[in-house]
Structure 1
Amino acid sequence: MSGAGTEMLSPAEAVARSGFSLDTLRYYEKIGLLDAVQRDRTGRRLFSEHDLAWLGMLRCLRDTGMPIAGMLRFTELARSGDLTVAERLAVLEEHDARVEEQIAHLRRQQGRIRAKIGHYRAVLSDPRPEPAPTAP
C-alpha cells in the first residue's frame, strides 16, 4: 500500500516507527500483507507514510492475536475497495469478540492472582507462624 509523492522512509526508519523487524517487513511484503514497497535506484526498500499507517493496523491485529490468515483476508478485502466495507466490518467485529473473550479470561485469571497476592500479604503481615502447607 505504498504511496507516491510523500516522504519516503528508509528500512531502518520503518523498523523504528513500526516496531516490526526488517525480516518481518520483508516477510509481510512477500506474503502480500504489505503491497510491493517502492525501491530506490539501488533496490533498497523505501516506505511511505501510507505503508507505515497500514503497518500500524497490522501491528494492532497481530498484537491482539489475529492469525496471519485473518490478516491476509482483511488485507485482501481492504484492497478490494468500498464494496467490501461490510465484510471488513464483519472480520473486525468477529476479531473484537475474540479479543473481548481473551480479556475476560485474563481478568478472571488476574483475580486469582490477586487473591493469592492478598493471601501472601496477609501471611507476611501476621507474625504468627504459617499453618501447614495448603494448595499453592
Structure 2
Amino acid sequence: MLIAEVSEKFDLSQDTLRYYERIGLIPRVNRNKSGIRDYTEEDCRWVEFIKCMRSVGLPVEILIEYVGLFQHGDATMEARKELLIQQRKLLITRMEDMKKVLERLDYKISRYDQTIVEKEKTLNRS
C-alpha cells in the first residue's frame, strides 16, 4: 500500500507518516524497487496502534520505547507489558480527572439554563 493510501485510510498526513517512521514510532517501512514506501498489513497495524495511542495522549517517547522493545523480540515481553500497564494507570487517572471537569461543566451549564429560564419568566410577567 502506498503512503498516499495509508494517509487516506488513517487520516494522517504523509508528512506525519514519514515523521513517525523517522523517529521510530513505527518500524521502518519497506520500499519497492523504485524506493517508494510500500506499507504492509503489519505496517498498517502499527500506524493504527500509534494513532490510537496518540489520540488519548500517550507520549511519543513512551511509544518509541515500546516500539524499540518490540523490535528486540520476545525477551522484552514483560517490559512491554509493564510499560502498557503504567500507561493504562496514567490514562485511568486522566479519565477520572476529565470526568470531574465534565461534571463541573455540566453543573455550570445547568446553572446557566436555570438563570435563563428565570429571566424569561421575569420578562414574561412584565
Alignment of 1:49-128 (within 5 A): 49-126=41-118, 127-128=121-122
Deviations 1:87-108 (A, max 9, x none): 1111001101111111111110
- Distance, in Å, in 1 between the alignment partners of 2:105 and 2:11 is 30
Alignment of 1:10-21 (within 5 A): 10-21=2-13
Q: Report if aligned partners of 2:27, 2:67 keep a CA contact under 8 Å in 1.
A: no
Comparing both structures, which one devotes a greater share of its residues to helix? 2
Q: Which amino acid aligns with 1:128?
A: T
DSSP-derived class of the 1:20 partner: coil
Q: Which amino acid aligns with 2:61?
A: A
Shift of 1:40: 2.2
Aligned residues: 121
Q: Aligned to 2:17, which of 5, 10, 25?
A: 25
Shift of 1:33: 2.1
Shift of 1:63: 1.4
Q: Percent identity?
A: 28
- Distance, in Å, in 2 between the alignment partners of 1:100 and 1:54 is 23
Q: Report if aligned partners of 1:17, 1:52 keep a CA contact under 8 Å in 2.
A: no
- Distance, in Å, in 2 between the alignment partners of 1:96 and 1:106 is 15
Q: Which amino acid aligns with 1:65?
A: G
Q: Aligned to 2:35, which of 29, 43, 55?
A: 43
Q: Which amino acid aligns with 1:41?
A: K
Gaps of 5+ in 2: none
TM-score, normalised on structure 1? 0.82
Shift of 1:19: 2.5
Q: Report if aligned partners of 1:34, 1:51 keep a CA contact under 8 Å in 2.
A: yes
- Distance, in Å, in 1 between the alignment partners of 2:32 and 2:74 is 31
Root-mean-square deviation (CA, aligned residues, Å) is 1.4
